[in-house]
Amino acid sequence: MDISIVIPLFNEAESLPELVGWIERVMREHACAYEIIMVDDGSRDTSWKVIEELSQKNERIRSIRFRRNYGKSAALHCGFRKAQGDVVVTMDADLQDSPEEIPELYRMIREDGYDMVSGWKKIRHDSKITKNIPSKIYNATACIMTGVRLHDMNCGLKAYRNEVVKNIEVYGEMHRYIPVLAIKAGFTAIGEKVVTHRARKYGDSKFGWNRFVNGFLDLVSILFVARFGKKPMHLFGLLGTVMFIVGFIAAAGLGVQKLFLLHSGSKVNLLTNSPYFYLSLTTMILGTQLFLAGFLGEMISRNSAERNTYQIKEEK
């Protein structure tokens, strides 16, 4: 099979017939063997009924239905596990992504040798205040922090070599950072393509302002897990050791200062009357706790069943 098209959706009943018809037309024009995997993320409208009706008309449509809304990452994860095509394409169900882009994305994967190609909505038809400007700020921040040079990391229209989606795990709200997950898994050939963005035709956007806060927290999380997930001692142990040493030197300095004043016959206050004593003591305690946190994390990591996870590219 050439292409698996994974479509996560939530309350998109109105757009589904038009979207499926559009995909069928494009795939027929380019003579592609394909499947459509629709993942209903706990929709509360008639989306599932529409999917069932479409499935009866087109045997290439495969479907998954969640009992409740779990989020886009969970939907993509299930769709990736089910995908059988050589190239896996993801797109949103709101008709803002054009199926006309799929053949070129497929060509870039198969002929240009990319592991993944991310869409870039260079010209957007969204509100500048609620979507365009925040999106540019988000993408600029993500590029700086991750080092992945993409203009639109969160674009829903992407294409992957099948091997990529089988070797990454999308969870929480990590769908925003799939390019980062792919690179961390060893798939470094990441391309980008300018894609057409259309104004929403039916319904309302499912994302609010909280996605930017959650996106930043997820970014911090993925960077931490990627770098220190298997070696927490390298972070917590280092920080704990530095803090303990700083606190110990500060406390020792206070002690030496008191001994010097006693030797010179000067009036000396109790060390416990000095705020620096408590700061030093607190620093040593926090340093010890961080070190122990790193030590415990290391023990948990070393005893994990997945402590030796790695990807083999080729074996002879």
| pLDDT: which is higher, 312 or 34 | 34
Is the pLDDT reported for residue 143 higher than 50?
yes
Model pLDDT, residue 10: 94
* Closest-CA residue to 97 (of 69, 78, 121, 113): 121
- How many residues can be counted in the chain? 316
Is the pLDDT reported for residue 22 higher than 70?
yes
The answer to which of 10-24, 93-107, 248-262, 277-291 has the lowest mean pLDDT is: 248-262
Q: From CA 280, how far away is CA 247, in angstroms rounded?
A: 4
Contact in structure between 76 and 173 (CB atoms under 8 Å): no
Model pLDDT, residue 112: 95
Work out the percent of the chain whose per-residue pLDDT is above 90: 51
Contact in structure between 87 and 110 (CB atoms under 8 Å): yes
Mean pLDDT in the chain?
A: 84
> Looking at the DSSP assignment, which residues form a beta bridge with residue 222?
none
9 residue type, one letter: L
**pTM of the complete model:** 0.72
Q: From CA 307, how far away is CA 211, in angstroms rounded?
A: 31
Q: What 3-state DSSP class applies to 89? A: strand
**pLDDT (average), residues 85-114:** 95
316 — pLDDT class (breaks 50, 70, 90) = very low
Q: Given its phi and psi angles, is residue 95 left (phi above 0), alpha (psi -120 to 50 degrees) or beta? A: left
DSSP structure class, residue 209: T
Is the pLDDT reported for residue 229 higher than 70?
no
Residue 245 CA, distance from chain mean position: 36
| pLDDT: which is higher, 175 or 127 | 175
Model pLDDT, residue 107: 96
Q: What is the torsional sign of CA 73, 76, 80, 85?
A: negative
Q: What Rg do the C-alpha atoms of the chain give, in angstroms?
A: 27
Model pLDDT, residue 312: 46
| pLDDT: which is higher, 168 or 173 | 168
Is the pLDDT reported for residue 136 higher than 80?
no
Helical H runs in the chain?
16-29, 47-57, 72-82, 102-110, 133-146, 162-166, 178-184, 210-228, 238-263, 275-302
DSSP structure class, residue 62: E
Model pLDDT, residue 304: 57
**pLDDT (average), residues 276-289:** 92
Is the pLDDT reported for residue 259 higher than 90?
no
Contact in structure between 79 and 67 (CB atoms under 8 Å): no
CB neighbours (10 Å) of residue 221? 15
φ/ψ of 139, rounded to 5, equals -65, -40
| pLDDT: which is higher, 149 or 113 | 113
| pLDDT: which is higher, 253 or 299 | 253
Model pLDDT, residue 141: 72
Place of tokens 């070129």: 104
Q: From CA 88, how far away is CA 48, in angstroms rounded?
A: 22
Q: What is the torsional sign of CA 74, 207, 94, 133?
A: negative
Q: What is the torsional sign of CA 300, 305, 311, 315?
A: positive
Contact in structure between 116 and 187 (CB atoms under 8 Å): yes
Q: pLDDT tens for residues 34-89?
A: 999 999 999 999 999 999 999 999 999 999 999 999 989 899 999 999 999 999 99
44 residue type, one letter: R
Q: How far is CA 219 from each of CA 44, 216, 222, 244, 315, rounded to the nearest angstrom?
A: 30, 5, 5, 29, 33
Work out the percent of the chain whose per-residue pLDDT is above 70: 82
Model pLDDT, residue 128: 53
Tokens of 74: 């969970």
> Looking at the DSSP assignment, which residues form a beta bridge with residue 97?
197
Is the pLDDT reported for residue 14 higher than 80?
yes
137 residue type, one letter: I
